[in-house]
Amino acid sequence: MFEPIERQSLSQSVYERLRDGIVSGELGSGTKLPSERGLAEALGVNRGAVREALKRLEQARLVSIRQGGAARVLDYQSTAGMDLLSELLFANGDLDLWVARSVIEMRACLGPEIARRCAERGGVECADRLHAGVEAMAADEDLDRRQAASLEFWAILVEGSRNVAYRLAYNSLRASYDTFRAALVQVMGAELRSIDSFRAVVDAVRQGDGDAAARRASELLELGARGLYEMLDTLQAFREGETS
């Protein structure tokens, strides 16, 4: 755990080393970390790098730092916020399949509600922007560009929902997705090719029908979820085969 740091981006390296230990359970909840001096010596870095890393861990609500500088590990699942989500996906170097499944489930729950509120609050101007984006997607079959357009489509829906909590949650999901979006173009192909499903969401928004918008958004997201779950199942079977 406390072997010397090899890279030279010192505070980031210290942060990642300690963060990974916390989220993996190697540094369990309630564990008292060594002093700044002790961590600096164990990791082979200066105290400034350790101090900066500890500040970041405290901001992420992974540790609490008491008066006098003593840092104690927190139960991150009870204290951390959405800003940690994208980091957890690859916290230990490999895609965390449990976290990835959690992100897909959240997407499936949050997306329809965003569409519902957009239909109720976004109005014709929002529907017009969505329509223009979808028709641009329809005219361009390149999946990379459709993927980018799809993200813009959802950004417009979020804006139209006029819900700051949805906006912040979407930002975290978007950051998580962006970490490996290039690898998901083909996996998400069924969703990106379903222009009629995008149009159905737009029509519901234009009509101000929240229930229909939520239903159509759910159907659209399910297309992508199937591919994502198949990918995760394949990865899990591969890893289990390697360890058997």
The CATH number covering residue 193 comes to 1.20.120.530
Domain final residue pick, 53, 80, 107: 80
Higher pLDDT, 179 or 24: 24
Among 80, 101, 128, the domain boundary falls at: 80
1 occurs within a structural domain: no
- Tell me the percentage of the chain whose pLDDT exceeds 90: 74
Range of the domain at 135: 85-243
Q: What is the pLDDT of residues 207-237, one digit of tens each?
A: 999 999 999 999 999 999 999 999 999 999 9
pLDDT confidence of residue 7: 47
Give the mean pLDDT of 131-147. Answer: 96
Residue 77, pLDDT > 50, answer yes
64 three-state secondary structure: strand
Question: Is 2 a domain residue?
Answer: no
Whether 196 and 132 map to the same domain: the answer is yes
pTM score over 0.85: no
103 and 215, same domain (yes or no): yes
Strand pairing of 71-73 and 63-65? Answer: antiparallel
The pLDDT tens digits of the residues spanning 161-177 come to 999 999 999 998 888 88
